[in-house]
Amino acid sequence: MKQPHSFAELFYTPKPAVWVLWMRVVLFGFFAWRVMSYDFAIFGLAPESVLSVYPAMLHYDVELNYFLGVPWVVDMATFHWIHWWLPLPNVSQLEHIQWAVCGICLIVVAGGRGPYHLFSFMAIAGVTYLWGFLWRSGVIDSMFPQLAMAWVYSLSRMVEPANLLRKDSYRRLTQHRSEFGALYSSVLIIWIGYYFTSGINKWSDLPLPDWFNYRFSHVHTFYVQAVDIAGFDPLIPKFLAPFFQFPLLDFIFPALIYISHCLIPLMYFRRHLIPVFMVFYLWFHVLTMGVYTLFAEIIAIWFLFIPIQTAFEPLRIQSAVSMRWLSHWCWLAPVEWIARQSDQASMIIDVNKQQSYPLFSTRSVLRLLWVNPLGWPLLALASCLYYTPLLCALWIRPEKPKR
C-alpha cells in the first residue's frame, strides 16, 4: 500500500473510533477538572474595577501585547455581553454556574455531544463564560487551543462512538474511518499551531542575541534565595535543582526550545515524531517548574496523542524475530513472558514467518507493554527513556510500510 505523503492524504489517514472516545474523555474531562480546580465564586466579591482589567490593559506597562483586547471585543467573545444588561452574578450564582458547567462537561464525557451537539456547545459556552472572568481580571489563561479543539469536535459530523443515544455505537471501537482521521488531524493542526505561532513569535519578539540570553539558572537561583532568605511564596521543587547548576545550558536550552517550536509542523507530516515531541515537551514543561512556571493544562492536553488504540489491537509476534531479540536484549524476555502469561484477552498472536508483516522495530518493547494493563504503569517510564530526542535521533526510524 502506498504511504500517504501529501497534506490532504495525511489529513484523511484513518483513525480508530476509540481515539475519538479517548479525545472526548480527555478533553472534556480536562474541562471539568479545570473548572472545579478554581473557586470562581470569588468574582462575586469583586468590584467593577477589578473586573475591568481587560487584556488591553495587560502588558500595558511593558509591551502592549493585546492592545486590541478592549472590553467590548472580549465581552463579545466570552458571552459577557449579557452583562451589558444583566448584573454580574453573585457568589452563590457563580457557584451554581460552576457546578452546572462541570456537570455538562461530564455529560459530554459520558455520553457524547448529545442531540444537535447541544451538550458540547453548552459545555464550550459555559467554559468560555467562566474563563471570561479571568480574561477580564488580568489573566491570559491557557485555554485557547483546548477550546478550539472542542469547537472542531463539536462541529464535526462524524458518527460518534460510544454515544448515549445510540446503543450500536459502542461496538467496533477499533474500526478505522477517515472521518475520525480528519478529526485527529484537525486537533493535531490546532496543537501544532499553538507551538508554531509561539516559535514565529520568537523571531519577531526577540532580537537574535536574546535567543541566547534567557538565564533561567539566574531566575531559579533568585527564587530559591527569595524563599530561603525572605520567606517568599514561590514553590520551587527541590528535585529540579541539579538541572539549574550549569549556566552554560542557559545559552543552549532556550534556543533549542525555540527551534523545536519552529520545527513542530514536522509532526503533521511525520507522525512517528509525535511521541518524540511529546516527551521533549513534557520534560520541558516539568523543568519550567524550576523557574516558577507550570504548564499543567498543556501537559494534560499532550495526553490526547497517546496512541490509545494500541491497547485494543492484537500484537502480532513473529517468533523468529522474537528469538533474535531475546538473544540481543535479554531484559526483554521477562517482559514478553509476563505479557504472554497474563494475556487473557488473546491479544498476542503468533504469526507465520511466511506472512509479510513488518519486522519488529525497537518500539516492540512499548507494544508489549501496551498489550496488557499490567504493563501500562511501566509504559510511561519506558516512553520517557525511549523517546528522548537524543536516542530518537540515533535509533528511531519511520515504520516500514506494510507490503
Residues between 116 and 175 with contacts to other proteins, criterion CB under 8 A = 128, 131, 133-135, 137-148, 151-152, 155-158
- Residue 83 burial (C-beta neighbours within 10 Å; 0-12, 13-18, 19+): middle
Q: Minimal CA–CA distance to 219: which of 192, 255, 176, 250?
A: 250
Q: 4 vs 314, which CB is nearer to other proteins?
A: 4
Residue 286 touching other proteins (CB under 8 A): no
Q: 295 vs 357, which CB is nearer to other proteins?
A: 295
Cβ–Cβ under 8 Å, residues 353 and 394: no
The residue assigned the cell 530526542 is: 389
Q: 222 vs 329, which CB is nearer to other proteins?
A: 222
Query: Residue 63 CB, nearest distance to other proteins (Å)?
Result: 4
Q: Which of the ranges 270-278, 292-300, 310-318, 367-375 carries the binding residues for other proteins, by CB under 8 A?
A: 292-300
Cβ–Cβ under 8 Å, residues 254 and 209: no
Cβ–Cβ under 8 Å, residues 239 and 266: no
Q: 91 vs 326, which CB is nearer to other proteins?
A: 91
Following CA atoms 85, 92, 51, 103 in sequence, which dihedral angle do they give, to the nearest 10 degrees?
-90
One character per residue 84-123, x = contact with other proteins (rule: CB under 8 A): -------x--------------------------------
The grid cell for 354 is 511466511
Cβ–Cβ under 8 Å, residues 380 and 347: no
Q: Which of the ranges 204-212, 303-311, 320-328, 330-338 carries the binding residues for other proteins, by CB under 8 A?
A: 204-212
Q: Which of residues 10-49 bind other proteins (CB under 8 A)?
A: 11, 33-34, 36-43, 45-47, 49
The grid cell for 111 is 455520553
When binding is defined by CB under 8 A, the residue of 16, 69, 89, 114 that contacts other proteins is 69
Q: Which of the ranges 114-122, 168-176, 230-238, 340-348 carries the binding residues for other proteins, by CB under 8 A?
A: 230-238
Long-range contacts from 53-59, C-beta under 8 angstroms, 24+ separation: 53/136, 53/137, 53/138, 54/135, 54/136, 55/135, 55/140, 57/138, 58/138, 58/140
Cβ–Cβ under 8 Å, residues 181 and 133: no
Query: Residue 392 CB, nearest distance to other proteins (Å)?
Result: 24
Query: Residue 42 CB, nearest distance to other proteins (Å)?
Result: 5
Q: 186 vs 364, which CB is nearer to other proteins?
A: 186
Q: 223 vs 386, which CB is nearer to other proteins?
A: 223
Residue 252 touching other proteins (CB under 8 A): no
